[in-house]
Amino acid sequence: MKNINLKKGVDIHIIEAPKFKTNLLSVYLYIPLKRETITKAALLPSVLKRGCTAYPTLKDISCHLDDMYSASASAGVRTKGDGEVLFFTSEYISDKYVGENLTIPVAEFLKEIIFSPLTENGGFNKSYTESEKINLRDAIQSLYNDKKEYAEFKCREAMFGKNGCGMFEVGYEEDLDDITPQNLYEFYTDVLNTAKVDIFVSGTANEQTINDITRILGSLFKPRDAEYILPGIKEYKRDAIQKITEDADVVQSKLCMGLICNVEPTSDEYYSLILANSIFGGTPFSKLFNNVREKLSLAYYAFSRTARFDGYMMISSGIQTENYQKAYDEIMVQFDKMINGEIEDSEINAAKNYMHNAYTAMEDSLKRMEDYWLSQTIMGTNQNISDLLNGISAVTKDDIISVMKKVKFDTIYFLKGKEAANL
């Protein structure tokens, strides 16, 4: 990835990937993750992509995208540690395959979507704002109705409170009634003036392409004092593991275990952590899958994952209520095997091969590559995928044991469903 600083707080990044027949042009606006703004941040991209001055309706937008050889466009928000990015992106056929410069109209289109929204009475279009509030409310409720997602969220919230990753990334339903077209527009103007700006062009880009994007998009952002919130070690501070049980009118109970990793996310030790997680619960041949689910049939699913920016590991399982203690005990048995070094060389090799294939496959998707490099940018690192894979390949069994001994249980969250006898 090549990086060009356009002005203070505004950068352009070029990911050369000439094997693709398409290009990806994206604008990312990075802001701190705050409870008072998280719902507005989730709502804003939806309102902006509903229509703008040049293309006031979804039909107008769709027709214009069709005119650009069926280009696609999307907008939304992603959390990244203690920050979040509002993104606006378009994928289009690379100029060399259509015999004309598509980059200019695509950049002009994104410019219109971001900078020329439909406004009235000092705020956004009221109809679009209210409509998107309804859609966001439905999205929030649907996530609450997804009990697996809900249980993991409640476990994170218990771990971190309503800070950083402890928050519900799509916002909160109780905030929606207080959002107006006017105060949402005020938030929008603040984001444009203060957010850290990263413009990505991925695929095939020459000097003229970069100049066009800089002229059309980069020139519209003023210099700003904006910085990323760098990820760091989340300290383990509990005297004892907190255990929370919530009753629910569901058949399948959810057992979630939140752990603090105590690993610097940009250190070489991170390689050991992700490989250890792969062996423990991150693959279809992991200890959790093979034992908790397959061998003992104690769970419908059982896996673990790590969150690099947020410094935690989450163990998630779906179980019958009456199997809670057995499932809990077996998960702890498998965790103890990790820290006691009961790990076969075949497990390590299989995990390394699995991760090699997973990260190599990332290079087959422009969007996944761009998200990878966006994360690298926010972390202040510039590590390509080959470097990452080399780091993973160098991990030893002793490294795995050492890093797993640092991982500490923080919260046990049990969403307790009906027992079989009560069905």
- pLDDT tens-digit map of 91-107: 999 988 888 899 999 99
- pLDDT at position 242 is 96
User: Who's near 362: CB < 8 A, 6+ residues apart?
Assistant: 368, 369, 372, 385
With 50 as the cut, is the pLDDT of residue 421 above it? Answer: no
Same fold, 2-220 and 242-422: yes
Query: Left (φ > 0), alpha (ψ -120 to 50) or beta: where does 47 sit?
Result: alpha
User: Who's near 391: CB < 8 A, 6+ residues apart?
Assistant: 268, 271
- pLDDT at position 322 is 95
Average pLDDT of 105-114? 98
With 90 as the cut, is the pLDDT of residue 143 above it? Answer: no
Q: Using CA atoms, how far apart are residues 82 and 21, in angstroms rounded to an integer? A: 35
> Which two structure tokens, joined as six digits, stand for 367?
């969007």
Query: Left (φ > 0), alpha (ψ -120 to 50) or beta: where does 296 sit?
Result: alpha
Average pLDDT of 347-363? 96
Average pLDDT of 313-329? 97
Average pLDDT of 297-326? 96
Q: Where are the domains of the chain?
A: 2-220, 242-422
The pLDDT tens digits of the residues spanning 144-171 come to 889 999 999 999 999 998 888 899 889 9
Q: Using CA atoms, how far apart are residues 257 and 234, in angstroms rounded to an integer? A: 16
Inter-residue contact 25 to 200 (CB < 8 Å): yes
With 60 as the cut, is the pLDDT of residue 423 above it? Answer: no
With 90 as the cut, is the pLDDT of residue 230 above it? Answer: no
In one-letter notation, the amino acid at residue 400 is: I
- pLDDT at position 236 is 67
- The band of 420, judged by pLDDT with boundaries at 50, 70 and 90, is low
The pLDDT tens digits of the residues spanning 74-93 come to 999 999 989 999 999 999 99
- pLDDT at position 266 is 92
Q: Using CA atoms, how far apart are residues 297 and 203, in angstroms rounded to an integer? A: 46
Q: Using CA atoms, how far apart are residues 170 and 46, in angstroms rounded to an integer? A: 12
> Which two structure tokens, joined as six digits, stand for 116?
């020329």
Q: Supply the CATH classification number for the domain 2-220.
A: 3.30.830.10
- 242-422 belongs to which CATH class? alpha beta
Lowest mean pLDDT among 39-53, 100-114, 224-238, 254-268: 224-238
Average pLDDT of 317-339? 97
> Which two structure tokens, joined as six digits, stand for 206?
């020459």
DSSP run (H or E) holding 93: strand 83-93
Is residue 147 exposed (0-12), middle (13-18) or buried (19+ Cβ within 10 Å)? middle
Query: Phi/psi of residue 311, each to 5°?
Result: 70, 30
Measure the CA angle with vertex 82, ends 271 and 42; round to 5°: 120
Dihedral over Cα of 178, 181, 182, 184: its sign? positive
- Strands 72-80 and 301-307 come out as unpaired
User: Who's near 48: CB < 8 A, 6+ residues apart?
Assistant: 75, 88, 113, 114, 117, 188
Q: Using CA atoms, how far apart are residues 24 and 202, in angstroms rounded to an integer? A: 5
- Give me the percent of the chain exceeding a pLDDT of 90: 91
Inter-residue contact 26 to 34 (CB < 8 Å): no
- Partners of residue 408 on adjacent β-strands: 260
